[in-house]
Each structure stands twice: as C-alpha cells, then as structure tokens.
Structure 1
Amino acid sequence: MTANNPHNQGPVDEPERVLATPAALALIAELQDRYGPILFHQSGGCCDGSSPMCYAAGDFLLGDRDVRLGEVAGAPVYMGADQFEVWRHTQLILDVVPGRGGMFSLDNGTERRFLTRSRAFSGEEMCRIGGR
C-alpha cells in the first residue's frame, strides 16, 4: 500500500496493518481448501476473548462500521470502527496456538486456534500511514 509523501518525494510504502505468521498462513490455506474464500473479523471481546474469528466469506454480514485492515493470504481482515479507534496505532499479527477456536470460527475443531498478537507502530510508521 502506498501513500502520497507530503514532501513530494513520490509514494511512500505504508506498513501493513495486519500480517500473519507461517503457522497462521498454513491454517488459512487449510481452511481455504476446505471452505473456499474466508474472511477474518477481529472480535471485540466479551465471549471470544478478542480472538480473530474466521468465517466463510458468505457467512458473515459486514456492517457499515466495519473497517477493512488489509488481507492475509487473500483473506480480508476486518474489525469494528470503535475497536479500530483503540487499535489504530498497532499492527496486528495473526498467529496460531494449540486450542479450540471460537464457537462459530472455522478454526474450531482443528485443535488449533487463531490468536492476534500486536505491536505498536513506530512514530515513523505512524507518519507513513498519516496517523490513520
């Protein structure tokens, strides 16, 4: 993704808002083989402990206030706008750990579950994404 450089030096690479570890990429490929196109929605908390939920692309209805963070391995990743306001300064990293996925998440039953790790963007990275 690129943004205009305010100093007219051409486009600047923006840091990705979401990445995936090799383990997550492997499970994503497995789920895509089994279910076809998938998407992720970063859970807001209450019942799923802020886990990324994985759905078949046609099985989750996105709302007007869902924000697309990017995509990993062809799978778009979203979160609600209110949650994005809190997490806007962080890069999310999808990972996989042993365990059971969320009740309706496609990783349930694989004995592995997706986990979101995060890291704060540096000041320089925040400048490159324009503070968005």
Structure 2
Amino acid sequence: MTTDQIPARVTATDAATALIRKLKDIHGPLMFHQSGGCCDGSAPMCFPDGEFKTGDQDVLLGEIEGSPFYIGRAQFEYWRHTQLIIDVVDGRGGMFSLEGPEGKRFLTRSRIFTDDEWNALKYAEQGNEQSKTEART
C-alpha cells in the first residue's frame, strides 16, 4: 500500500488554508492543537510553532498547510474513526488562537472514514508500530 492511498487524519478547506497562509505571513511558522474544552470550547487552536507545549498525551494527527496538528490522546481515541476537516467561519474564536484578530475562527468538521480508508489506516499504523519495534532491537 502506498502512502498516497492512506487518508489524511486531518485536512483543511480552501478557506482555512487561505487563512493559515495569511497567519503564517504575519506570525511565521504555526502549529495547531485540537482543544478539548475549557475556556475556548472544543476548537482547533492556532499558535506560533512551539508556543503550545505538547507532551506524551498529545497525538500528531498530521499537517495542514505545512503546520503540525495535534490532538489530546483521549480525544484522539474518541475521534480516531473520523477525519477532521478544519474550516473557518466569520466570528470571534478562541481568545488564545491567532485567528481571533482577523474576525475569523477555525472550527472542526468531521466525517467517518469509509471501511476501505479505515482498513488502510489500521494497516499503516501496524506497519509503523512494527518499524518502531524493529528499530529498538
């Protein structure tokens, strides 16, 4: 199975990628973290790259517009069967996320992976785990 047959766990709409490019021009490299609640609700949060400290409980889902996108492990377990689609709408978003001053906010839409996509992801993950085990021995 080739890498291009494995579906992305996170992707972005054209509107979101346009805003990401604008934010990169202003702030430099970016990173995202899917918030799990608290003050900003459950929203994708955008930060200057490295400003949000990730740890063992964060999962790197992939990249959008060249920017890493993380999610907490507990949320990942709940949403693992879905593809996250990052979009943007008018309005004030999270107070800590970089898009707020632009009068926009990122939001997460999702769709459930098809059976074929899910099987491709499981196959790829099993191969990655086997490679990591072999590298340690």
Residue 51 of structure 1 corresponds to 43
Show structure 1 runs of 4+ deviating over 4 A.
Answer: none
Note if 1:27 corresponds to 2:24. no
Following TM superposition, by how much is the alpha carbon of 1:47 offset from its aligned partner in structure 2, in angstroms? 2.4
% identity of equivalent residues: 58
Following TM superposition, by how much is the alpha carbon of 1:108 offset from its aligned partner in structure 2, in angstroms? 1.1
| Structure 2 unaligned spans of 5+ | 126-137
Residue 108 of structure 1 corresponds to 100
- The alignment partner of 2:77 has SS state of helix
Richer in helix (by share): 2
Which of 43, 49, 72 does residue 80 from structure 1 map onto?
A: 72
Following TM superposition, by how much is the alpha carbon of 1:109 offset from its aligned partner in structure 2, in angstroms? 1.0
Following TM superposition, by how much is the alpha carbon of 1:123 offset from its aligned partner in structure 2, in angstroms? 1.1
Residue 120 of structure 1 corresponds to 112
- The alignment partner of 1:68 has SS state of strand
Whichever residue aligns with residue 14 of structure 1, its letter is I
- The alignment partner of 2:40 has SS state of coil
Q: TM-score, normalised by structure 1?
A: 0.88
Note if 1:70 corresponds to 2:62. yes
Residue 2 of structure 2 corresponds to 11
- The alignment partner of 1:29 has SS state of helix
Following TM superposition, by how much is the alpha carbon of 1:64 offset from its aligned partner in structure 2, in angstroms? 1.3
Whichever residue aligns with residue 95 of structure 1, its letter is D
Note if 1:36 corresponds to 2:56. no
Richer in strand (by share): 1
Cα RMSD after superposing both structures: 1.3
Residue 4 of structure 1 corresponds to none
